[in-house]
Amino acid sequence: MTTDRSTPEGDIRERIAAARKKLGKDLVVLAHYYQNIDIVRSADFVGDSLQLARIASEQREAGSIVFCAVSFMAEMARILCETRQKVFHPEPSAKCPLAEMAVIDDVERAWKLLTATGRHLMPVVYVNSRADLKAFCGKNGGFVCTSANAKKAMEYVLSRGAVPFFFPDENLGRNTAHAMGISDDEIFLWDPFEDISDTGVPDIAAKKAILWRGFCYVHVAFRPSDIEQARKTHGEINVIVHPECTPDVVGLADYAGSTSYIKSTVETAAAGTKWAIGTEVNFVNCLKADNPDKLIVPLRECECRDMSHVTLLKFLTVLENILEGKGQPEVTVDPEDSRYAKVALERMLAIT
């Protein structure tokens, strides 16, 4: 059957339902909360990175796993699933720009220079990262973290007398460090674009955390003025934001936490309460649709353009190709990277 952009949405939905029925239990569909509402409604499991990592690792029955999200998440499923299982991503070019802000050569260079100072460092990579960086952590005694467990991860490192070398999201690292009582003076920011050939090895003797200069363009778009405006417009409104937002925004908000934290906080709040939410707008719209007893508004309409590359039509194409046995690119990860990235992911699942 043909599919192109002119295929009516109603037909696409019907064909998705038909393909899903035929594939039965041999197929599992995982979707991130930031996917568009139609894909979220079609998925077997919807979650944030941590939840989806756990769910992917628990799938035993399905032979095919379709992961609707950006590419590093599909890679993570590939790493955690059994080799007999096939993992598909409807749009392999949907990459997270934050994940692309740290590349292995730069991280290895930083690691070499920073460890040469004699400080005991432990690498902690945010889940929004390429598989080779996760593998780097696996090889060097470190692990992966998500926004839901970044604090536990940093506490773990400090409890072992080490300094977290955290990459690639500076804001998540800084907000987490602040929540643990670590001040900006105690943080060293590694800038991968800075040429340190003149200044030499940095002085990190008194530092309690090393961060990487990387950011999420969706979450840094929120401004303190958005919070002031929401309070002016709606009076007694609760402001809840994601920790990839800048520290000034997190500092002004009433609550800050991962996507799953935002979801559970809003869902369990009393009917009639008002919420301005500072995270990706597709997720906010889903939450709004599912909680009609509350006033829910986006703090600002910020969409992840990269997540939106996965469309309902591309999702349908993957399903029909699986059904027809047509060759299509599976998600693959270099076996050596996969082995060590799995070590880093399993360490995360064990400590959180």
Residues that bind ligand SF4 (CB under 6 A): 34, 70, 96-98, 128, 216-218, 280, 304, 306-307
Backbone dihedral region of 89: left (phi > 0), alpha (psi from -120 to 50 degrees) or beta? beta
Q: How far is the CB of 127 from ligand SF4 (least distance, A)?
A: 10
Residue 67 β-bridge partners = 30
Residue closer to ligand SF4, measured from CB, 89 or 294: 89
What is the distance between the alpha carbons of residues 260 and 49, in angstroms, rounded to a whole number? 9
The half-sphere exposure of 253 on its side-chain side, counting CA atoms within 13 A, is 26
Q: How far is the CB of 161 from ligand SF4 (least distance, A)?
A: 31
Residue closer to ligand SF4, measured from CB, 259 or 338: 259
Residue closer to ligand SF4, measured from CB, 91 or 280: 280
Q: How far is the CB of 15 from ligand SF4 (least distance, A)?
A: 27
Residue closer to ligand SF4, measured from CB, 126 or 340: 126
95: helix, coil or strand? coil
Q: How far is the CB of 186 from ligand SF4 (least distance, A)?
A: 26
Identify the residue whose tokens are 């998600």.
331
Q: How far is the CB of 168 from ligand SF4 (least distance, A)?
A: 10
Distances (CA, A) of 117 to 92, 150, 167, 197, 210: 39, 25, 19, 15, 13
Residue type at 126 in one-letter notation: Y
293: helix, coil or strand? coil
What is the distance between the alpha carbons of residues 221 and 284, in angstroms, rounded to a whole number? 15
Residue closer to ligand SF4, measured from CB, 34 or 340: 34
Q: How far is the CB of 282 from ligand SF4 (least distance, A)?
A: 10
Q: How far is the CB of 306 from ligand SF4 (least distance, A)?
A: 5
Residue closer to ligand SF4, measured from CB, 64 or 171: 171
Residue closer to ligand SF4, measured from CB, 140 or 146: 146
What is the distance between the alpha carbons of residues 333 and 135, in angstroms, rounded to a whole number? 11
Residue type at 86 in one-letter notation: K
Residue closer to ligand SF4, measured from CB, 62 or 304: 304
- The answer to whether 258 and 243 are in contact (CB under 8 A) is yes
Q: How far is the CB of 310 from ligand SF4 (least distance, A)?
A: 11
Q: In what order do the strands lie in the sheet with 187-190?
A: 143-145, 121-126, 163-167, 209-212, 187-190
What is the distance between the alpha carbons of residues 205 and 186, in angstroms, rounded to a whole number? 10
The half-sphere exposure of 120 on its side-chain side, counting CA atoms within 13 A, is 7
Helix, strand, coil: what percent of the chain each, to 5?
45, 15, 40
